[in-house]
Amino acid sequence: MSIAGFEVEVDRGRGLETEEMTLNMGPQHPSTHGVLRFVVKADGEIMRRAIPDVGYLHRSIEKISEKVGYHGFMPYTDRVDYVAAMFCNQGWGMVTEKLADIEVPKRGEYCRVIAAELNRISSHLLSVGTMILDIGAITPFFHAFREREKINDLLEELCGARLTYNYMRIGGVAWDLPPGYEEKVLAFLSQFDRMLEEYDDLVTSNKLFRARCSGVAAISPADAAAYNLVGPNLRACGVRYDVRRDEPYSVYPELEFDVPVGTGSAGAVGDSFDRYLVRILEIKESIKILRQCFQQIPDGPVVAKVPRKLKPPAGDVQIRVESARGDMSWYAVSDGSEFPYRCKVRTGSFAAMGMIEELSKGLMLADLVTVIASLDIVAPEVDR
């Protein structure tokens, strides 16, 4: 460079540079919903990447099944996803029944559906409650949990437990509905309808909440399929797929319900708000299902006669249950003995967890907690 006839060398340096910051989020962090860990690469408030680190809650549940036998494994399935344990119970029950060719009595199936749908409501309430808590509002969380407590009370009356139910048995359920149960559930539902309206006023139509969620981590249907998203997360992307409707099991073909999908009402289709809204709509569908169940439930036994020492014929079977976190697949191999040769569970949270790294690129730091909460990731379900 020449200045006034002199050749001058100017050292421009490297200019203003910022360093990438590595943040360690979790395993002890208030909004990682259990022991999850993310290694966040951030440039100030903007994330470059959030790398999930799984395995903190691995309890070898699948391996345990090989040592405790078919009946003995049922309580362990509660721990696969302790927020929605009924579905895991149902999954294990269904896979064994298919292996051993056991017919579940009609009333048993209805009891299963009633318990499962109550559990779905409570799981979704937890999900939307913690999501709004992560976004910063405190009251809706308490309102959601107040209603969840009532469901816990109902389930406690049904099976004696509030979290790890161990309600279902191979061939049916452990106990019939207690006397007066129908009235109690229906009374709760009619009260809960009004609470949902209140929740809509408080949260769904809240402008700040919408602004925080709209357009955050929108997922296209193609991406969702590529990452194998399932359940409400998949439906929020606009894909109308529900195992209960498309590969019906239990008594779901006899029940009428809609499959709500995301419409992009706050911004893009498949964004965090859609994932929130789909859960709220699914709660309403579950209420519908519950009301129908109580109208249609027949009399009769609730559990089939199943030998104490169950020895299914050799072979392998795979079934799918629509859990609160989506398509939960159970695969079991029998070698003809009284212990399963192998059992494999595929859960919805695991797929969602895998997608976070892709979704987090370029988001704000505050959006990461929105994404985790909106994908409804439950740590034990990731690791099993």
Partner 1 sequence: MLQQFLDSLIADGTLGGMPRDVAYLIGMLGAGALVVFGFVLNISGVTTFVERRVWARIQSRIGPNRVGPQGILQWLADGIKLLMKEEAIPFAADSALFKLAPFVVTVGFITAFVAVPFSSALVIADLNLGILYITSMTSLVVVGIMIAGWASNNKWSLIGGIRAAAQIVSYEIPAALSIFTVILITGTLSMQGIIQQQGWGPWDWFIFHSPFTFVGFFITFVSLLAEGNRTPFDLPEAESELVAGFVTEYSGARYLFFFLVEWGNLYVISAILVTLFLGGWQVPMIPGLAESPFWLNLTQAVTFIVKSYAGVITMMWIRATLPRVRVDQLMSTCWKYLLPIAFVNFMGTALWVLIWPEGFRFAELALTLLGFSMVVYFFYRVVFHLRRSGAELTFSPLS
Which residues are at the interface with partner 1 (CB under 8 A)? Answer: 21, 23, 29-31, 45, 132-139, 142-143, 146, 191, 194-195, 197-198, 201-202, 206, 208-209, 211-212, 364-369
Q: At what angle do helices 272-296 and 181-199 cross, to 10 degrees?
A: 160
Nearer CB in complex with partner 1: 136/298: 136
CB of 212 or CB of 320, closer to partner 1: 212
Quote the least distance from Cβ 137 to partner 1, whole Å. Answer: 4
Would you say 43 and 365 are in contact if contact means Cβ atoms under 8 Å apart? no
Q: What is the DSSP letter of 69?
A: H
Of residues 198 and 246, the one with the C-beta less far from partner 1: 198
The C-alpha atoms of residue 48 and residue 36 are separated, in whole angstroms, by: 19
Smallest gap from residue 359 Cβ to partner 1 (A): 16
Shortest distance (Å) from residue 195 CB to partner 1: 7
Cβ contact 162:156 at 8 Å: yes
For the bound state, the minimum distance from the C-beta of residue 28 to partner 1, rounded and expressed in Å, comes to: 9
- Are the beta carbons of 114 and 251 closer than 8 angstroms? no
Task: Output the smallest distance, CB 58 to partner 1, in A.
Answer: 25
| 271, 216 contact by CB (below 8 A) | yes
CB of 219 to partner 1, least distance (A): 20
The distance of closest approach from Cβ of residue 119 to partner 1 in the complex, given in angstroms and rounded to an integer, is: 23
Q: Which conformational region is residue 262 in: left (phi greater than 0), alpha (psi within -120 to 50 degrees), or beta?
A: beta
Cα–Cα nearest to 142, from 198, 209, 86, 84: 198
In DSSP notation, 183-196 reads HHHHHHHHHHHHHH
Question: Of the candidates 81, 79, 30, 20, which has an alpha carbon nearest to the alpha carbon of residue 51?
Answer: 20
Query: Which two tokens mark 265?
Result: 């009402």
Comparison of 28 and 295: residue with beta carbon closer to partner 1: 28
> Whose Cβ is closer to partner 1: residue 173's or residue 368's?
368
**Nearest CB to partner 1, comparing residues 142 and 361:** 142
The residues, any chain, with a CB within 8 Å of residue 204's CB and separated by 6 or more, are 276, 277, 280
Nearer to partner 1, 130 or 323 (CB): 130
Q: How many residues does the chain have?
A: 384
Is the Cβ of residue 194 or residue 305 nearer to partner 1 in the bound state?
194
* H or E element at residue 346: strand 340-346
Q: Least distance from C-beta 136 to partner 1, angstroms?
A: 3
| Residue 30 Cβ vs partner 1, minimum distance, rounded to whole Å | 6
Q: Which is nearer to partner 1, 183 or 197 (CB)?
A: 197
282 contacts 120 by C-beta, under 8 angstroms: yes
Q: What is the DSSP string of 5-56?
A: TEE-----TT-S--PPEEEEE-SS-TTSSSS-EEEEEEETTEEEEEEEE--T
